[in-house]
Structure 1
Amino acid sequence: MMRVANVIQLGIKELRGLTRDPVLLILIVYAFSMSVYSAATAIPETLNKAPIAIIDEDRSPLSDRIAGAFYPPLFLTPSLITRAEMDQRMDAGLDTFALNIPPNFQRDLLAGRQPVIQLNVDATRMSQAFTGSGYVQSIVNGEVNEFVARHRSGDSLPVDLAMRARFNPELNKQWFGAVVQIINNVTMLAVILTGTALIREREHGTIEHLLVMPVTPLEIMLGKVWSMGCVVFVATALSLIVLVQGIMQVPLQGSLGLFLFGVALHLFAVTSLGIFLATMSGSMPQFGLLLMMTLLPLNILSGGTTPRESMPEFVQTVMMAAPTTHFVALAQGVLFRGADLTLVWQQLAALAVIGTALFMFSLGRFRRSLK
């Protein structure tokens, strides 16, 4: 029979071992601090201070107006260059965009012709190139239309589209990036810590010492699960309260207690997964390779980065068996949309069922690995 005192003492032993591993401690602190902050403030789709150069061969009031329309924070102050400098600067990576305004552009426009402005884009900077091209086109079209009309257009459209951005009225991508990074790091750290704890004992030979003591494999596994899960649980709560809500000022809509309850269920599942991966690997390098094969699909296909609806139906069906899919849905529902228990109970139930199945399967594998 399982003895609770043994489980508690074995978990305390794991916590003591963790405090003597500075690499893992640094990883935990980084994953829930700098990693969250950098992911939130450096989202690839965000256009921020993109370098742009302008070749003004027209030297007209309209070309001056276009050049003056690009300013921070979306763009850096434009550099006025010549045509001969354009290729050299783009080859050197100094400019992401180079806007070439041809001679007689204003005259041809007022004469009713259709002059062409050339936009050169450094497509190797994919994140800025895709988003920024649309911004440049919109800015140029707006300035040209206002110049031709000599005033801001007052024409009313036959249909008035009133946009209402729910849950993120500022369309601030930092709100999304911070929470998603925490969600991903919960899975990553839980798997790494539990798997590392088991492999470290195997490499040091202490697992044999445990087997000659009056403890069972169930008690050994539960000790690792609760101790490493507790570490990730505390780090998640502190990151949300101190960093996300306090420093980054991200408003969380729902109940923090309900979310943390979901975190506990998710940790029960992924710590069991970490034990299973550790039993499948004979050394730390092998465990690292298994992590790459496991964590990347779990995080990318769970719906946190890309909506599940845009994935093939086969992938959506398969990923329903992954705990990360239900955890992402629960976390986004609670933290972004303020969902209560009546809306997320299905995700909680799925995490409990998947966690129990993973725990029992991992326990069986762990017992066989000890023979």
Structure 2
Amino acid sequence: MIGFSARRLWAVVTKELRQLKRDRLTYAMIVGIPIMQLLLFGYAINMDVRHLPAAVVDQAHTSRSRQVIDELHQSRVFDFLYAPATSAGAQTLLRDGDIKVIVVVPADFEHRLTTDQPPLQLIVDGSDQVVQQAARQLSQFPVRAYLEGRSLSPPASPVAVAAYYNPEREAPLNTVPGLIGVILTMTMVMFTAIALVREREHGNQEFLITTPLSSAELTLGKVLPFIGIGLIQTGLVLLLGHLIFQVPVRGPLLDLYLAALVFIVASLALGILISTVVRSQFQAMQAAIFTFLPQILLSGFMFPFEGMPRPAQWFAEVLPLTHFVRLSRGIMLRGADLASLWPELLSLAVFSAVALGVAILRVDKRLD
């Protein structure tokens, strides 16, 4: 029986530390993951919603209506980007995802100030529950008390709130569309990266190197089957979401599948890129998780996008899941189509092209 030796133990510890030092990806994640989580949770994740894109329909055109609109703007909750002449025009902007809130000042605004009728109306995008919550907090804005210069503490003359697309505030209607993207992100990126690295680890790539395949043909040929898998997963989530949670698809179903197809390609491109950087399946899994965390936290799926600081929003615009969450919620809940959501589709296409291009350049058909 071999006795315990502190020297032998220290030799093993030293060996593992040296191995860890040579494994740059694992070493980077040991330092990077805590830093990233601290920044994401402590700085970027902010439940206090600000700067919601909004439109104002001022049908009264009086000095007091402009005064109230200015006060709402000064609250920094709304950014009034549009001032359409009619509510119908504003509702088109809401359906297309250009705005989150419509503030309507009715033509009889002055008369309503002397009655019990709500003097203002907020029409909100109910496909995002965080927006609904922020709007309902502002529904207690004391319009009469503010205009008369009295104390603003009593909730006099509350504002009427109408939530479009999810008036019952059912959580699955908000969750399931984004969950499609979350599931595809987790499976497509990880499966692709691990599968390609496994080929290299098992030596199967040596056989393929002897074939007259280009780097593009070799890379794309390995990935195309995953596109079918991703579309099957999309259909499965849609079917279960409809049967179990009664989640509708109000827009064109074909448009939703086309959006999912482009997002799947973007996720696969990210997985391919990861496979060209890492050396083992374990590293591939680590890297996939490393890219998955900021996507789920910054995409608007879990936390309000408008509550994040501008630098965090700029970074989130690079992530594929951010754009697919907007696409899926827009098509499924608001009844929008790809023609009105083309900027999100274009962003996914650009990401796919760049990631695939870089990955193909990194694929080397040599044994060394």
Report the TM range for the smaller structure's normalisation.
0.5 to 0.7
Report the counterpart of residue 277 of structure 1 in structure 2: 274
Distance 1:196 1:208 in 2: 17
Distance 2:171 2:322 in 1: 21
| Structure 1 segment 151-170 matched on structure 2, within 5 A | 159=157, 161-170=159-168
Using the TM superposition, give the Cα deviation of residue 319 of structure 1 relative to its aligned residue in structure 2, in angstroms.
2.1
Within the candidate set 166, 174, 177, 1:176 is matched to 174
Q: Assess, with a 3 A threshold, how the Cα gap between structure 1 residues 167 and 369 changes in structure 2: closer, same or farther.
A: farther
Report the counterpart of residue 339 of structure 1 in structure 2: 336
The one-letter code of the counterpart of 1:285 is F
Q: Residues 227 and 261 of structure 2 are in contact (CA less than 8 Å); yes or no, is this contact kept in structure 1? A: yes
Q: Secondary structure at the match of 2:222?
A: helix
Using the TM superposition, give the Cα deviation of residue 179 of structure 1 relative to its aligned residue in structure 2, in angstroms.
2.3
Alignment gaps of 5+ in structure 2: 1-154
Using the TM superposition, give the Cα deviation of residue 224 of structure 1 relative to its aligned residue in structure 2, in angstroms.
2.1
The one-letter code of the counterpart of 2:179 is Q
Report the counterpart of residue 289 of structure 1 in structure 2: 286
TM-score (norm 2): 0.55
Within the candidate set 309, 315, 318, 2:315 is matched to 318
Q: Secondary structure at the match of 1:170?
A: coil
Distance 1:236 1:370 in 2: 37
Q: Assess, with a 3 A threshold, how the Cα gap between structure 1 residues 342 and 214 changes in structure 2: closer, same or farther.
A: closer
Using the TM superposition, give the Cα deviation of residue 367 of structure 1 relative to its aligned residue in structure 2, in angstroms.
2.8
Within the candidate set 244, 247, 251, 2:241 is matched to 244
Alignment gaps of 5+ in structure 1: 1-156
Q: Secondary structure at the match of 1:229?
A: helix
1:360 partnered with 2:357: yes
Q: Secondary structure at the match of 1:340?
A: coil
Q: Residues 175 and 301 of structure 2 are in contact (CA less than 8 Å); yes or no, is this contact kept in structure 1? A: no
Report the counterpart of residue 219 of structure 2 in structure 1: 221
Distance 1:249 1:329 in 2: 20
Distance 1:229 1:192 in 2: 14
Distance 1:357 1:315 in 2: 21
Q: Secondary structure at the match of 1:164?
A: strand
Report the counterpart of residue 194 of structure 1 in structure 2: 192
Q: Assess, with a 3 A threshold, how the Cα gap between structure 1 residues 213 and 220 changes in structure 2: closer, same or farther.
A: same
TM-score (norm 1): 0.55
Q: Residues 191 and 274 of structure 1 are in contact (CA less than 8 Å); yes or no, is this contact kept in structure 2? A: yes
Q: Secondary structure at the match of 1:342?
A: coil
Q: Assess, with a 3 A threshold, how the Cα gap between structure 1 residues 361 and 368 changes in structure 2: closer, same or farther.
A: farther
CA deviation string 1:13-36 (max 9, x = no partner): xxxxxxxxxxxxxxxxxxxxxxxx
Report the counterpart of residue 345 of structure 2 in structure 1: 348
The one-letter code of the counterpart of 1:192 is M
Distance 1:193 1:286 in 2: 13
Distance 1:186 1:355 in 2: 15
Report the counterpart of residue 262 of structure 2 in structure 1: 265
Distance 1:266 1:308 in 2: 19
Q: Secondary structure at the match of 1:341?
A: coil
Q: Alignment identity in percent? A: 34
Using the TM superposition, give the Cα deviation of residue 256 of structure 1 relative to its aligned residue in structure 2, in angstroms.
1.8
Report the counterpart of residue 207 of structure 1 in structure 2: 205
Q: Residues 308 and 316 of structure 1 are in contact (CA less than 8 Å); yes or no, is this contact kept in structure 2? A: yes
Aligned-pair RMSD on alpha carbons?
Answer: 2.0
Using the TM superposition, give the Cα deviation of residue 252 of structure 1 relative to its aligned residue in structure 2, in angstroms.
2.4
CA deviation string 1:215-247 (max 9, x = no partner): 22211111122111221112112320x201123
Distance 1:237 1:369 in 2: 39
CA deviation string 1:179-225 (max 9, x = no partner): 22222111111101211210111121101111111222211111122
Q: Residues 265 and 352 of structure 2 are in contact (CA less than 8 Å); yes or no, is this contact kept in structure 1? A: yes
Q: Secondary structure at the match of 2:340?
A: helix
Q: Secondary structure at the match of 1:338?
A: coil
Using the TM superposition, give the Cα deviation of residue 369 of structure 1 relative to its aligned residue in structure 2, in angstroms.
7.7
Distance 2:258 2:268 in 1: 15
Report the counterpart of residue 26 of structure 2 in structure 1: none
Using the TM superposition, give the Cα deviation of residue 160 of structure 1 relative to its aligned residue in structure 2, in angstroms.
5.5
The one-letter code of the counterpart of 2:163 is A
Q: Residues 279 and 369 of structure 1 are in contact (CA less than 8 Å); yes or no, is this contact kept in structure 2? A: no
The one-letter code of the counterpart of 1:313 is R
Q: Secondary structure at the match of 2:161?
A: coil
Q: Assess, with a 3 A threshold, how the Cα gap between structure 1 residues 158 and 270 changes in structure 2: closer, same or farther.
A: closer
Distance 1:219 1:176 in 2: 39
Aligned length, in residue pairs: 215
Distance 1:265 1:237 in 2: 15
Using the TM superposition, give the Cα deviation of residue 250 of structure 1 relative to its aligned residue in structure 2, in angstroms.
1.5
The one-letter code of the counterpart of 1:211 is I
Look at both structures and tell me which one has the larger radius of gyration over its CA atoms.
1
Distance 2:360 2:276 in 1: 10
Runs of 4+ off more than 6 Å: none
